[in-house]
Amino acid sequence: MIAAQLLVYYFTELKDDQVKKIDKYLYSMRFCDETLLDITRRFKREMVKGLGRDTCSTSSLKMLPTFVRSIPDGTEKGDFIALDLGGSNFRILRVKVSLEKKQIVQMESEVYDTPEDIIQGKGISLFDHVAECLGDFIEKHDIKDKRLPIGFTFSFPTHQTKLDESYLISWTKRFKASGVEGMDVVQLLNKAIKKRGDYEADIMAVVNDTVGTMMTCGFDDHRCEVGVIIGTGTNACYMEELRHIDLVEGDEGRMCVNTEWGGFGDDGSLEDLRTEFDVEIDRGSLNPGKQLFEKMVSGMYLGELVRLILVKMAREGLLFEGRITPELLTKGKFDTKHLSAIEKSKEGLAKAKDILSRLGLEPSAEDCVAVQHICAIVSHRSNNLIAATLAGILMRLKENKAGMRLRTTVGIDGSLYKMHPQYARRLHKTVRRLVPDCDIRFLLSESGSGKGAAMVTAVAYRLAEQSRQIAKILSEFRLTTEQLLEVKNRMRIEMQNGLSKSTHDTACVKMLPTFVLNTPDGTENGDFLALDLGGTNFRVLMVKIRSGKRRSVEMHNKIYAIPVEVMQGTGEELFDHIVHCISDFLDYMGMKSTCLPLGFTFSFACQQKSLDAGILITWTKGFKASDCEGEDVVRLLRDAIKRTEEFDLDVVALVNDTVGTMMTCAYEEPTCEVGLIAGTGSNACYMEEMKNIEMIEGDKGRMCVNMEWGAFGDNGCLDDFRTEFDHIVDDFSLNPGRQRYEKMCSGMYLGEIVRNILIDMTKKGLLFRGQISESLKTRGIFETKFLSQIESDRLALLQVRSILQHLGLDSTCDDSIIVKEVCGTVSRRAAQLCGAGMAAVVDKIRENRRVDHLNITVGVDGTLYKLHPHFSRIMHQTVSELAPKCSVNFLLSEDGSGKGAALITAVACRLRKELNSK
């Protein structure tokens, strides 16, 4: 018993002594975390260089675009063929993907030998051989008539220009077929297939084996966005933001980038980490100076690295008592599979003795311990270097996601990773240590790159079909110039119907007279009170207008809330509340004793009989105060002022907010004779010739007409332009059948149109994996402000996803692209329809004035016009195209409705004064 204990003690001491000796000898192969993080930083710098248009040529990482834009999302289905060419065996698979309760994949495969004379012969012969094998496979599986989509795994360095166009850069892995380098391998294969003439093929995608690995794992885990090969060779790919890939046009979405990381360090950036053994390996390789990182970490070279170390240590008398055999000196005699066997925890030392003995050596127990530790150091260094570069990719993904905690999956394949007893566990542990703020899952690829090629094809097939269906759904929103001209012409007809006495009552565009006869001329002067009622908040303003050289407008205002019970109570209660607010404001301003002229902005539909009288047609915006509809709102205000007996006011003008906008801009720009509101609602006004306004007497001069154009189409004249989604939004609105034009182009409804399109697309499986969330079912959840945010050019898709997640919509990157396209299409149509209406107005003014060319300014207000990133530009462009004989300047109104009411009052007071002085 004591003897056995002494033996164990002796062996442990021997082992510890040997380990320390080897550690000291191979110190340069051991890396601390600080060194690994420095390698990560170097790798990230090379990634950035490789992505840049001006720096990619000098980068050791090629960062090749693969044109794979999406990973599987679980909705792929179909029947596909995959070709896998990358070694002496050529594999063909038939992959059936069915989608019932869950995705099911069925695979059938055939392996074909690729003879040495074909591998190293003519390129034509190689592709003829591939076409022949494919023909045999199609014949055996009786699928000649199906013309199945094909994915082609081509595991050699290529320059891709499309998903189905890939030019071979250089052969590797003993392949030397002539006439192929620099050629498109898809074209070569298509030529070979065509030459046979007995079947047709549709090659949809060419992929690298690393990409195939990512896509294979991506089928099982939709979070997989990194693929790594750690086998005979090594490489990695990952999903990069398209906006960062300079060599590919476009900046929306993502694309898989093949890093070709085996070449990391070819520029000398790893020289301080390479040992004399690495230098010797490189010097004796087929490609000196290239793939330096791969030569430090991959299965092709690790065994040879160990052999070179053993030779040197033996020569220095540190191993095998200084004995060296011819076998030990023979390149390739110590393989990476030997390294894996020796590192096994239980039988490793016995394996070491056996392997070394076959090399003609007579290893002692001490030698076996030393060799086992050498193997561990070499494989551990490989682990550490791969972990450091993979950490660089993971950090890049995290940065692309704006610092959010990264949760992702890495798909891995390769013999070294699979077969080495410690490799996978060590790699996982080191990566997680280097990127502690990331949740990483490692997923082993079970079916290899062949299934991955089929998955790339399935995704491409899904995206193509998806794109076709989306284009069909959105096609009705994409209006041609001819269609917009037709909208303009119909608006002109409805404008005329509203102006004519005989058709006014049935006209949908009412063309209401406002009794505003002039725009400001700059001589207005005085202090005026303005009221602004149009929502749950009510504003009272003091506007001081000064004329002369120092012309100015000074404003003071207070905002008062209108409680719901007042909005929906009696008319007397509402107007008493308004007067109470005015009283408070006059106290605040110290002007209660002054009888000020007042302009009342009242943003509800009224039939005006004079400038200071207007009959309320109907309440909107949540107001339901009784005894007001059909009454003169100015009289109701005057009655309420009398009831207080606290102050007196001279109510001069009742003003619509659109007219107020025009007047505000006209004060700054005399050519402004049109007003436009493009916000929650939509409306326009303009200065019409009195002779054309048949509803009122007089034919001299001009009067501002409030078009109330939101009702355009209420008579059915726009039905051929309305989509099923417009009908849905209208049917579920508070006023079905009314304000149809407004419902197609105003901020209150655009979000709801988008929401209904998204529901339809989700039902068809085009969005959100076909799952309609409760939030998406909620009417009004998709506010128009989200359209503005989503369509912002400055907003990355990650932020779009964040907005959608805020709305309870769990979206992928692909979903975000589609949602952005839907938002853009809906808002573009809105801007174009608004532009068509405005083109009708300015052309009418031009014809009224009988001029060949009109210069005019439009005063504009409204949140949609102000805040949407593209609405104003598209609307301006539409007006320019549809009214080419008009030069239209758009002037943004600052505080239109309040200031405008005061200016209308000031103009009315000026005109009244001029009339009295005559």
* Residues with catalytic roles: 539, 603, 657
CA–CA separation, 383 and 404 (whole Å)? 27
Q: Beta 89-99 vs 103-113: how paired, if at all? A: antiparallel
Q: What is the DSSP letter of 697?
A: S
Give yes or no for a contact between 70 and 463, defined as CB atoms under 8 angstroms apart.
yes
The amino acid that residue 591 corresponds to is M
Rounded distance, CA 111 to CA 89, Å?
Answer: 6
User: Which segments within 398-450 are labelled E, that is strand?
Assistant: 406-413, 438-444
117: Cα within 13 Å, side-chain hemisphere = 0
> How open is the CA angle 86-88-90, to the nearest 5 degrees?
65
Question: What's the CA gap between 18 and 12, in Å, rounded?
Answer: 10
Q: What's phi and psi for 189, nearest 5 deg?
A: -70, -40
> Which residues contact residue 624 at a Cβ distance below 8 angstroms, ignoring those fewer than 6 apart?
567, 568
Pairwise CA distance, residues 381 & 429, whole Å? 14
The DSSP secondary structure of 347-387, one letter per residue, reads: THHHHHHHHHHHTT----HHHHHHHHHHHHHHHHHHHHHHH
Q: Coil, helix or strand for 674?
A: strand
Taking Cα atoms as reference points, which of 784, 777, 774 lies closest to residue 742? 784
Query: What is d(CA 152, CA 49) in angstroms, rounded to the nearest whole number?
Result: 29
CA dihedral of residues 214, 217, 222, 223 (deg, nearest 10): -60
Backbone angles phi, psi at 33, to 5 degrees: -65, -30
Beta bridge partners of 539: 532, 559
Q: Are β-strands 78-85 and 89-99 bridged in parallel, bridged antiparallel, or unpaired? A: antiparallel
Asked if 509 and 499 count as a contact pair (C-beta separation under 8 A), the reply is: no
Nearest to 394 by CA among 423, 433, 422: 433
